[in-house]
Amino acid sequence: MHRVVSAALALLLVGIAGAHAQQPKSGGTLVYATGTDVQTLDPQFVTDVPTSRIVANIHETLVKADQNGEIQPCLATSWSTSDDKLTWTFKLRENVRFHDGKPFNAAAVKATFDRMRDPATGSPRRSSLAAIADVKVIDDHTIALVTKEPFAPLLAQLSAYNLAIMSPAQLQKAGAKYREQPAGTGPFRLKSWQPGERITLARNDDYWGEKPKLDAVETRVVPEDSARVLQLLSGEADVIASVPTVMLKRLESSSAVQVIKKTGFRTIYVGLNNAIAPFNDHRVRQAVAYAIDVKGLQRGVLSGTGQLGGGFESPVIGGAKEIPPRAHDPAKARKLLADAGFPNGFATSFYVPTGRYLMDRQLGEAIQAQLADVGIKVRIESPEWGAFTALVDQKKAPMFLMGKGSPTGDLDFTLTLTALTNGRMNSFALSNPELDQLILEQRAAVEPEKRRALLARAQDLIFEEVPAVVLFYEDQLFAARANVHGLAIYPNEFVDFAGAWKG
């Protein structure tokens, strides 16, 4: 199992055959086309992957996962734990400066973490530091994190982009405008941002590590799948995200580009809001699950890409349980609906994004047809991404097509956010006391076997509750021009531009 997980976590280096024989070149701008716009440049308010990809090239965390998913130093060079497992002491990297010229030190770590822990900040990811009781500055280059009880996933948690370190001086100067005026320690700094159109990052010439070879990275917002592909083929874009499956054969046959396919941590699902009738009825949620033909969706809409499964967590994540999907059974769906008082079905709204996930709009339309077959009439709504996520976060969407990744590669992060009662991203309004207890217990379970058993039961409970119907685990599909080398794509969906160059 360890070998399988390690392979799944392997870093994907994008380049063409023979790239190793070329000498890397410096200079130039890499154009990256993606389907949705950046929402904020404040790490503590990031809740979506396209935004995190930009934020994590500007900012850095204390630790980070390597190509095998093992935690390695980043802004922290080493760490140790006390005998009682409650105090974690980190030695910090010296001679590092933020983009505003101010020095990185222990005070900056404390200011960053205290800001996130403060309820007044209003971070949607505040629970990431819920285990921390105190943050202590020992000296300029030593910080201690004191936990309330032993906390097994702490290092994984600290690798999440939400816990990236920010310049205290810039936080004080910019205030709420930090979201558009960031100052991290990363290999790139913000150059310009035209919301809805593009955002440009410039090389950080004062970067503490190996400096990027590119002068700049320009990210363009191109919602339509076909438009991104045409930009790549014409050379207008160097790299594109979310390649539509219907275009795979065309791209794979072109010597001018390379398709990059990698299984990631992301689960694509149909969310069902337990707080909005009729989805507050367990039988109705089950009916939706039996009405959706996931195998048919994979075979038809996705052209065979993606991995099928019923569990809410992608099985390539350590500790995730492989749960088979429910069988497609329209007759059973109709009976469940009749038992719930809907012999003729019902009508509802189904929120579906465009350009965020692999073939998202097409999936929504196919699901619409499958549900109609059992009498559930859904009206597709597709607002722009910012409005879409706001509606889902505020629990105003009865049904929604959504994806859930894993920034840390540890189940605690997303279970706490999405499955705990009143979790910040629990858009299903799911509430199960036993599940809550399991999630809380696994956090303190430092014995791997005990923690694994608690997590397994939690995943079974989520499947039984049906807060969502898992469609598939998403394959990451990117494509790049043949002259692009050194781009790194991780299973947690981070796209690292620092080593990229254009031949």
Residue 388 to residue 376: CA distance in whole angstroms: 22
pLDDT value of position 67:
64
pLDDT at 261 (0 to 100): 86
- Sorted by sequence, the CB contacts under 8 Å of residue 429 that are 6+ apart come out as 273, 274, 275, 276, 395
Fold exhibited by the domain 60-174: Dipeptide-binding Protein; domain 1 (3.90.76)
pLDDT, residue 190, reads: 98
pLDDT, residue 318, reads 86
How far is Cα 429 from Cα 467, in angstroms, rounded to an integer?
Answer: 8
Pairing of strands 399-404, 346-351: parallel
SS3 336: helix
Four-residue CA torsion sign, 22, 56, 182, 111: negative
- Cα 306 versus chain centre, distance: 16
Please spell the DSSP secondary structure of 429-451, one letter per residue: ----HHHHHHHHHHHH--SHHHH
Angle 12-15-17 from CA coordinates, rounded to 5°? 115
What pLDDT is recorded for position 148?
94
Tokens 């722009």 found at: 384
Domain range summary for the chain, segments of one domain joined by +: 24-57+186-238+483-503, 60-174, 264-475
- Domain 24-57+186-238+483-503 belongs to what topology? D-Maltodextrin-Binding Protein; domain 2 (3.40.190)
Report the first-to-last Cα separation within the chain, whole angstroms.
39
Q: Residue 316 in contact with residue 5, Cβ under 8 Å?
A: yes
Looking at residue 142, its pLDDT comes to: 98
Q: Quick one: which of 112, 119, 117 has its CA closest to 182?
A: 112
Q: Is the peptide bond before 124 cis (omega within 30 degrees of 0)?
A: no
CA 401 to chain centre: 15
Specify the fold of 264-475: Dipeptide-binding Protein; domain 3 (3.10.105)
Distance CA 378, CA 400 (A): 11
- The continuous run of DSSP H or E covering 111 comes out as helix 106-117
Residue that has been written with the tokens 């734990």 in this structure = 81
Contact by Cβ (8 Å): 333, 321: no
Q: Given this model, what pLDDT does residue 12 score?
A: 42
H or E segment and range at residue 483:
none
Q: Which residues lie below 8 Å from residue 195, measured CB to CB, with a gap of 6+?
A: 37, 38
What's the confidence (pLDDT) of residue 18? 41
Q: Could you tell me which residues come within 8 angstroms of residue 208 by beta carbon, excluding any fewer than 6 positions away?
A: 93, 95, 96, 97, 185
pLDDT per 10-residue tile (average), the chain, 503 residues: 39 42 90 95 95 97 83 96 96 98 98 97 93 97 96 94 98 97 98 97 97 98 94 97 90 94 90 98 98 97 93 92 97 98 98 93 97 98 94 96 92 94 95 97 89 97 98 93 94 92 96
- Helix (H) or strand (E) holding 347, with range, is strand 346-351
Asked if 304 and 258 count as a contact pair (C-beta separation under 8 A), the reply is no
Instruction: State residue 80's pLDDT score.
Output: 97
